[in-house]
């Protein structure tokens, strides 16, 4: 009886689910149910087919969009060769450090860094606050175009790919002054009680570079570029933590 | 764009999916040629921002390349799969607090003024627009509003309920019943 009600509760959500109009926890519940219920799976597939007809308008894509896709695929290839070493080291260290488990501690184990607490913001950060304010202003206004353009359009900007297990990839674009924007990610959305957190490895320290939210979109941040030895993302409780006790979800290190 | 051969141009979704799984980049290029226009149009319609729509379009095809197994041809056409991912990702990106406030203000203004594009106007493809419009006419206005705000507005059903001043359960039902009616109508119309 309880099982039946549960099934009906989920059924009532299938339309909203197909239109991405449910929250993260409902989405997780529906998806778990779909694994075992062929009837509901069929209904969702039908809804998705209807939605794809509503979206039947076609638009000319920008000329260079395929080239940009290819560039990103090429970047994947580079990431496989450039980042295999540190990521595999992280994984091995994670296995060795079960029970300790702090990404900061792991990094200390792996590369001999010492952890420090959040709050060691330096003069460079203050100097870049004006720029960050403008980016955040654009973000607050929901003006993603302006936000992404400011950084992506800058010819001096670097693209960094943070790679993780199971094909997780996070793309970050960063200006020479250390102002960065997370521009895309395949991170799995977290529930509302958790958040992704970005960490900068600099000068032997692991410093929080900001919270990315439970389901990162475009997120601006700032790090000191002259001392940047790596970037790491972890999943934390909402509000973030000063020192992580979680394994790395994705990481980037410059060529070793 | 990568050279597309005549053979690839006539490959069906099953085979195209298998070729992408086998690491054939020309197969991905063919999928892009066929579907990037509608993926981009949907992302643009929901996000109302070109840069974001371009970003989503790239991401949809990059992810298809990285995780081709996520596409199961037995569950529906490739187009439907790619559009579903594009919609989900666009909604994820625009659903930040700040952006939500802006959109809600805009949508409230539209609802109040009774202006803004109707769901019929949102559907523009000439080939299927006729079928879709006829099917849409069979829906109750409340069902159309709920689907439009959720799908093209990128709102959750709870937000839709607040916007329409209707109970959440009612909105959930309207979305589901509306989609089922549309599906039945479109099947009858042979779309």
pLDDT at B171: 97
Q: Residue A30 and residue A162: Cα distance in Å, rounded?
A: 30
CA pseudo-torsion sign B134, B137, B143, B149: positive
**Confidence label for A71 from pLDDT (cuts 50, 70 and 90):** confident
Q: Residue A178 and residue B37: Cα distance in Å, rounded?
A: 35
pLDDT at A89: 34
Cβ within 8 Å, pair B182-A50: yes
Q: Residue A62 and residue B15: Cα distance in Å, rounded?
A: 27
Reduced to 3 states (helix: H, G, I; strand: E, B; else coil), residue B20 is helix
Whole-structure pTM value: 0.58
Q: Which residue of B has its CA nearest to A148?
A: B51
Which chain B residues are within 8 Å of A186, Cβ to Cβ?
59, 63, 66
Runs of H (alpha helix) within A97-191: 103-111, 123-127, 129-140, 144-152
Q: Residue A106 and residue A234: Cα distance in Å, rounded?
A: 12
Range in A50-59, A92-101, B63-72, B118-127 the model is least confident about: A92-101
Residue with more model confidence, A239 or A141: A239
Closest CA to A136 of B55, B44, B97: B97
Structure ipTM: 0.81
**Confidence label for A155 from pLDDT (cuts 50, 70 and 90):** low
Interface contact A153, partner B, CB < 8 A: no
Cβ within 8 Å, pair A65-B83: no
CB contact at 8 A, A161 and A252: yes
A111-137 confidence digits (pLDDT tens): 333 333 233 334 434 444 555 555 556
Which chain A residues are within 8 Å of B155, Cβ to Cβ?
21
Element (H, E) at A233: strand A228-237
Q: Is the pLDDT of residue A39 over 80?
A: yes
B4-56 confidence digits (pLDDT tens): 456 788 888 889 999 999 999 999 999 999 999 999 999 998 988 888 889 89
For residue B185, the Cα-to-chain-centroid distance in whole angstroms is 19
pLDDT at A105: 40
Which chain B residues are within 8 Å of A70, Cβ to Cβ?
2, 25
The beta-carbon neighbor of B150 closest among A19, A45, A52 is A19
Interface contact B71, partner A, CB < 8 A: no
Runs of H (alpha helix) within chain A: 2-18, 24-36, 38-54, 65-82, 84-96, 103-111, 123-127, 129-140, 144-152
CA pseudo-torsion sign A101, A105, A111, A117: positive
Residue with more model confidence, A98 or A151: A151
């Amino acid at each position: 009886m309880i099982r039946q009600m549960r099934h009906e509760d989920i059924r009532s959500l299938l339309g909203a689910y197909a239109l991405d109009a449910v929250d993260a926890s409902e989405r997780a519940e529906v998806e778990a149910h779909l694994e075992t219920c062929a009837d509901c799976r069929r209904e969702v597939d039908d809804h998705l087919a209807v939605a794809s007809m509503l979206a039947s308008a076609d638009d000319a894509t920008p000329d260079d969009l395929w080239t940009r896709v290819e560039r990103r695929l090429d970047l994947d290839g580079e990431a496989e060769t450039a980042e295999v070493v540190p990521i595999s080291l992280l994984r091995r260290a994670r296995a060795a450090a079960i029970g300790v488990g702090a990404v900061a501690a792991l990094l200390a184990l792996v590369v001999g860094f010492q952890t420090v607490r959040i709050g060691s913001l330096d003069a460079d950060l203050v100097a870049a606050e004006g720029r960050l304010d403008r980016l955040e202003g654009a973000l607050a206004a929901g003006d993603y175009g302006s936000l992404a353009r400011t950084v992506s359009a800058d010819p001096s900007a670097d693209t960094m790919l943070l790679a993780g297990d199971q094909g997780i990839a996070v793309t970050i674009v960063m200006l020479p002054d250390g102002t960065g924007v997370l521009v895309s990610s395949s991170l799995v959305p977290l529930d509302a009680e958790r958040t992704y957190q970005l960490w900068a490895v600099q000068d032997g320290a692991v410093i929080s570079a900001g919270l990315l939210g439970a389901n990162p979109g475009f997120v601006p941040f700032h790090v000191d570029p002259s001392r940047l030895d790596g970037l790491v993302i972890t999943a934390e409780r909402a509000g973030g933590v000063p020192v992580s006790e979680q394994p790395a979800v994705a990481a980037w290190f410059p060529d070793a | 764009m990568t050279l597309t051969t005549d053979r690839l141009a006539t490959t069906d979704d099953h085979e195209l999916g298998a070729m992408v799984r086998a690491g054939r980049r020309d197969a991905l290029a063919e999928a892009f040629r066929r579907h990037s226009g509608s993926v981009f149009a949907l992302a643009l319609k929901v996000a109302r921002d070109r840069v974001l729509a371009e970003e989503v379009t790239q991401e949809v095809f990059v992810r298809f390349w990285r995780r081709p197994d996520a596409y199961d041809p037995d569950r529906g056409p490739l187009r439907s799969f790619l559009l579903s991912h594009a919609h989900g990702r666009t909604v994820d990106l625009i659903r930040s607090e700040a952006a939500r406030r802006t959109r809600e203000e805009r949508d409230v203004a539209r609802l109040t003024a009774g202006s803004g594009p109707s769901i019929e106007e949102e559907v523009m493809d000439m080939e299927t627009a006729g079928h879709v419009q006829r099917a849409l006419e069979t829906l109750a206005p409340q069902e159309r509003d709920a689907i439009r705000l959720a799908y093209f507005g990128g709102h959750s059903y709870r937000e839709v309920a607040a916007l329409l001043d209707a109970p959440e359960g009612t909105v959930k039902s309207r979305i589901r019943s509306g989609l089922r009616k549309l599906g039945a109508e479109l099947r009858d119309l042979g779309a």
